[in-house]
Amino acid sequence: MGKKQAGTGPLSRRPDNSAFKQQRLPAWSPSLTAQTVLPTFYILSLVCLILGVWLLVTVKNTYELKVDYTDAGSCERCFDLRKHANAFRTTCTCTVGFHLPKTFPGAMFFYYGLRNFHQNLRRYMDSRDDAQMVGRKNNLKAPSSYCAPFDYDANRVPIAPCGAVANSIFNDSLTVMYNAGGTEVEVPLYRKGIAWYTDKNVKFRNPLTNNTFTLQRAFEGTTRPLYWQRSVYELDDTDSNNNGFINDDLIVWMREAAFPNFKKLYGVLNRAQGHFTEGLPAGNYTLSINYNFPAEPFRGRKELVISTVTWFGGQNYFLPIAYLVTSGLILVTSVLLTTVYVKVGKKGKNMEE
């Protein structure tokens, strides 16, 4: 009979005789007792309480003012005009006055806010062409099918940028005027540099034409989205280098919000000028709006949000309240467990057994 080959037989799959493979490694098996569990609960409750109070104080130190201009002031006329689908390219301007009760010191951030606008719908989020947004010529002339029905116009001319996300861009123009002793002074804003660095420099690029950066020529053979009032290469009147797919407002809009009520950065206060070196002074203001974005079709609201920020962000009470509620729940649980232990655990019916 021949020799039995190695690696065969009933013992061929036995693990090596090592501490790891034979599960002989030292292990720690904690014994949960009232003396260890209850103090842990109380400590967790205290930690959540401290964090909640700390975050609450931080949020209280932020300043925020919301100005709903959907149909306020003279904007009611524009609100009614935007109800009609055939009037989306008609210009309409309006003003809304508001009062700042106290000085908002430091850096001020200006946002536009939308309510009841669901950017988190799956079909809506998929309706875009990321390859087109990085300047690929093939996708510029032949948009992705995900963009349908916003990929071609009625004459089969490709749309740039395509998709429902780009087509529904927020396109109101906001100007804030400060009443300084009877004189209207425009609040200066930085309107560039408001997009994420990775978006501005990686995810969004303009197409090139024969290595020559002529933006209008780069978008030849395409048309603007259906509800836009100007082409993508004309988005910024003041800076030609902020047009096309690298326009800051477009980039900010294309990063979809997770909730139906959201705000997006519109500009940052320029504190290098006159009345605004220390922040936004108290007083009367006027918000001038070039009213383009319709709110009635989705039964939403539009607002200007003026806010300071801290290391924690803007004024948001969710997290501090969540910590305080968690602290209270843990404390109640701890008291109940302690009561049960005192009444039952010490009378021979110890729950540790």
Whether residues 327 and 201 fall in one domain: no
What global pTM score does this model have?
0.81
Whether residues 217 and 76 fall in one domain: yes
Whether residues 151 and 238 fall in one domain: yes
Whether residues 312 and 342 fall in one domain: no
Average pLDDT score, the chain: 88
Q: Is residue 239 part of a domain?
A: yes
Q: Is residue 17 part of a domain?
A: no
Q: Is residue 330 part of a domain?
A: yes
Q: Is residue 45 part of a domain?
A: no
Range 312-333 average pLDDT = 92
Interatomic CA distance for residues 243 and 346, integer angstroms: 76
Whether residues 226 and 344 fall in one domain: no
pLDDT value for 211: 57
Whether residues 336 and 226 fall in one domain: no
| 13 confidence band (pLDDT: 50, 70, 90) | confident
pLDDT value for 30: 76
Nearest 5°: CA angle at 234, between 134 and 97?
115
pLDDT value for 314: 81
pLDDT at 349 over 90: no
Q: How far is CA 87 from CA 75, 90, 190, in A?
A: 15, 5, 31
Whether residues 155 and 211 fall in one domain: yes
pLDDT in tens, 299-311: 999 999 999 988 8
Range 16-31 average pLDDT = 81
Whether residues 163 and 284 fall in one domain: yes
Interatomic CA distance for residues 240 and 289, integer angstroms: 23
pLDDT at 352 over 80: no
pLDDT at 138 over 60: yes
Interatomic CA distance for residues 329 and 151, integer angstroms: 52
pLDDT in tens, 54-92: 999 999 888 999 999 999 989 999 999 888 766 677 789
| 351 confidence band (pLDDT: 50, 70, 90) | very low
Whether residues 133 and 163 fall in one domain: yes
Q: Scanning the structure block, which residue is given the tokens 């009032």?
A: 229
Q: Is residue 140 part of a domain?
A: yes
pLDDT value for 56: 93
pLDDT value for 1: 47
Q: Is residue 288 part of a domain?
A: yes
Q: Is residue 244 part of a domain?
A: yes
Range 289-308 average pLDDT = 93
Tally of domains within the chain: 2
Q: Is residue 98 part of a domain?
A: yes
Q: What is the span of the domain harbouring residue 340? A: 321-353
Whether residues 292 and 344 fall in one domain: no
Whether residues 276 and 332 fall in one domain: no
pLDDT value for 29: 78
Whether residues 106 and 179 fall in one domain: yes
pLDDT value for 347: 55
